[in-house]
A = this chain, B = another copy of it.
Amino acid sequence: MRADGHRRRQAILREAVTLSTVDGLEGLSIGNLAKALAMSKSGLYAHFGSKEELQLATVDEAARIFRQEVIEPALRAPAGVGQLVAVCDAFVEHLRRRTFPGGCFFAGAVLEMGSRSGPVKEAVAAFQQGLVQQIGEFAGAAIAGGELPVTEDPGQLAFEIMGVILATNAGFVLGGDDGVLDVAGQVVRRRLGVATDGPGRA
């Protein structure tokens, strides 16, 4: 029974993440979500007592999916440049398989929540800062391991990689085709001095 309840909650939250990538976290409401799931509003209130609680649970679920689809594949790659390339490739695949209709949940949530305050904004900011820090650690390992010159700055490199991720997402969301995904793979490999042996694929 508890496992069923957990699966049901997770299915609800996945729909909430999906809707948020189109209508925004502020556009998410228990009413809209109930409609999308063909559930009663009272049924949803049993899971989430308020809009803010629903938003926070949605950010948590989006973070779980992002970690599973993007961070974990990178952590399994060889430390250093291998992880930098892998995090970008995994992000590209996250888009390519159209996990969500509006592209990357966090790219949108950062801009939507950035000018607000409160716990939902804090949760989005914490995720984003954690991601930048993780990429910075991959970059630091690449420099420490001699794969990248010591003149590189891990923080600046993480910033550049975030830029590639955001430009890829923006181009993909706007264009709706896979062309930009291949460009992303080439740009990252060129930047890191890795041979491009395929059109943006590892």
CB of A183 within 8 Å of the partner chain: yes
Would you call B103 and A111 a contact (CB within 8 A)?
A: yes
The 10 closest A-B pairs by CB, nearest first: A163-B163, A114-B173, A163-B167, A166-B166, A102-B115, A162-B167, A114-B174, A108-B111, A163-B164, A110-B170
Q: How far is the CA of A137 from the CA of B155 in the complex (A)?
A: 29
Would you call B173 and A110 a contact (CB within 8 A)?
A: yes
* Set of chain B residues within 8 Å of A128, measured between Cβ atoms: 170, 174
* Set of chain B residues within 8 Å of A113, measured between Cβ atoms: 174
Binary contact readout A108-124 vs B (1 if CB under 8 angstroms, 0 otherwise): 10111111100000001
CB distance from A120 to the nearest CB of B (A): 13
Would you call B24 and A115 a contact (CB within 8 A)?
A: no
CB of A22 within 8 Å of the partner chain: yes
Binary contact readout A24-49 vs B (1 if CB under 8 angstroms, 0 otherwise): 10110000000000000000000000
Known: A26-B27, A102-B111, A108-B112. A166 touches B156 (CB 8 A): no
- Which of A115, A156, A190: most chain B Cβ within 10 A? A115
CB of A53 within 8 Å of the partner chain: no
Known: A163-B164, A163-B166. A103 touches B108 (CB 8 A): no
CB distance from A6 to the nearest CB of B (A): 29
CB distance from A192 to the nearest CB of B (A): 12
Q: How far is the CA of A183 from the CA of B160 in the complex (A)?
A: 10
Would you call A24 and B112 a contact (CB within 8 A)?
A: yes
Q: How far is the CA of A29 from the CA of B159 in the complex (A)?
A: 36
Would you call B103 and A114 a contact (CB within 8 A)?
A: yes
Residue from B22, B114, B156 within 8 A of A183 (CB atoms): B156
Known: A27-B26, A156-B190, A187-B156. A115 touches B164 (CB 8 A): no
* Set of chain B residues within 8 Å of A58, measured between Cβ atoms: none
